[in-house]
């Protein structure tokens, strides 16, 4: 199921801009509102898959990621995945003239960036899924004495053989299992 969802997610990311590019080229076949709606859908969808989760990770992860990726690195990442594609599509939608050579270069660059992004997202999500499976195996082997405990473990952010823990806001029904210091 994980892989099915992942492939679907990534195919949408791949084909949405291609579809948007095609409908923009078809003069008059599609209404402006429809084009704008697809455009909005794409920028929100790509944000949810790229720089939004990465920004959250940058500020909330335990590792001091800020020491090797400075803030301007994060800003550059956000610009790459927001400002650049938005600018490209505005130029397309507003039919702002650009020499066909540069237009072609932008499109090829955009396509290559999209494919690399898809491969990166796929790699990261598969890696995280494999790690999560390993933690879930510990839940099934060490914390399955009750269905409630198992459920708590499967929802936990930290899992080890003798216990589990949450990053924030431990659910009330799981608090009784947070006794590893007793």
Partner 1 sequence: MKYIKILFFSILLFYSSYIYADSNFVHAKLADKLYKPWGIAVLDDDHLLITQKSGELFKINIRNKTKTEIDHNLIVSEYGQGGLLDVLYYNEKVYVSYAEERGDEKYSTSVAIGEIKDNSISFKNIFQSEPPIKSKIHFGSRLEIKNDHLFITVGERQTGKLTQEIDNHFGKIIRLHLDGSIPLDNPYVDQENGLNEIYMIGLRNPQGMAVSPIDNELYITNHGPKGGDFFGKVIEKGNYGWDDVAWGGTDYDGTIIGDGSAWLPGLVKPIYRWIPSIAVSDIFFYEGDEFSEWQGDVLLSSLKVQKLFKLDYEDGKVRDVSIIFERKGRLRDVEVNNLGEIFYIVDDSKGSLWQLQKS
Residue 19 or 127: the one with the smaller Cβ distance to partner 1 is 127
Residue 179 engages partner 1 in binding (rule: CB under 8 A): no
Residue 90 engages partner 1 in binding (rule: CB under 8 A): no
Residue 2 engages partner 1 in binding (rule: CB under 8 A): no
Residue 61 engages partner 1 in binding (rule: CB under 8 A): yes
Residue 36 engages partner 1 in binding (rule: CB under 8 A): no
Residue 126: count other Cβ atoms within 10 Å of its Cβ: 13
Number of residues lying near partner 1 (CB under 8 A): 22
Instruction: At 130, list the tokens.
Output: 């494999």
Rounded Cα distance, 90 and 152, in Å: 47
Rounded Cα distance, 20 and 36, in Å: 9
Residue 159 engages partner 1 in binding (rule: CB under 8 A): yes
Residue 150 engages partner 1 in binding (rule: CB under 8 A): no
Cβ(147)–Cβ(157) under 8 Å?
no
For residue 170, what are the β-bridge partners?
Answer: none
Angle of helix 51-60 relative to helix 71-81, nearest 10 degrees, comes to: 160
Residue 110 engages partner 1 in binding (rule: CB under 8 A): no
Residue 62 engages partner 1 in binding (rule: CB under 8 A): yes
Residue 131 engages partner 1 in binding (rule: CB under 8 A): yes
DSSP-based three-state secondary structure for 137: helix
Provide the terminal-to-terminal Cα distance of the chain, rounded to the nearest Å. 39
- Residues contacting residue 113 through CB under 8 Å, at least 6 positions apart: 80
Interface segment toward partner 1; rule CB under 8 A; list 2-10, 13-21, 29-37, 132-140: 132-140
The CB-of-70 to partner 1 minimum distance in angstroms stands at: 14
Residue 105 or 132: the one with the smaller Cβ distance to partner 1 is 132
Interface residues with partner 1 (CB under 8 A) are 61-63, 67, 127-128, 131-132, 134-135, 138, 157-163, 165, 167, 180-181
């Amino acid at each position: 199921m994980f892989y099915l969802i992942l492939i679907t997610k990534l195919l949408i990311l791949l084909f949405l801009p291609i579809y948007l590019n095609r409908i923009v080229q078809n003069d008059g076949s599609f209404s402006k509102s429809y084009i704008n709606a697809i455009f909005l859908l794409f920028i929100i969808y790509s944000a949810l898959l790229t720089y939004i989760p990465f920004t959250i990770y940058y500020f909330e992860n335990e590792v001091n990621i800020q020491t090797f990726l400075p803030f301007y690195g994060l800003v550059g990442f956000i610009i790459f995945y927001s400002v650049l594609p938005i600018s490209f599509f505005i130029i397309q939608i507003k039919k702002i003239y650009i020499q066909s050579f540069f237009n072609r270069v932008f499109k090829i660059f955009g396509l290559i960036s999209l494919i690399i992004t898809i491969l990166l997202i796929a790699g990261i999500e598969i890696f995280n899924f494999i790690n999560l499976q390993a933690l879930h195996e510990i839940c099934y082997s060490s914390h399955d004495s009750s269905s409630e405990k198992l459920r708590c473990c499967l929802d936990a952010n930290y899992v080890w053989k003798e216990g589990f823990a949450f990053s924030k806001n431990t659910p009330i029904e799981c608090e009784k299992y947070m006794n590893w210091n007793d």
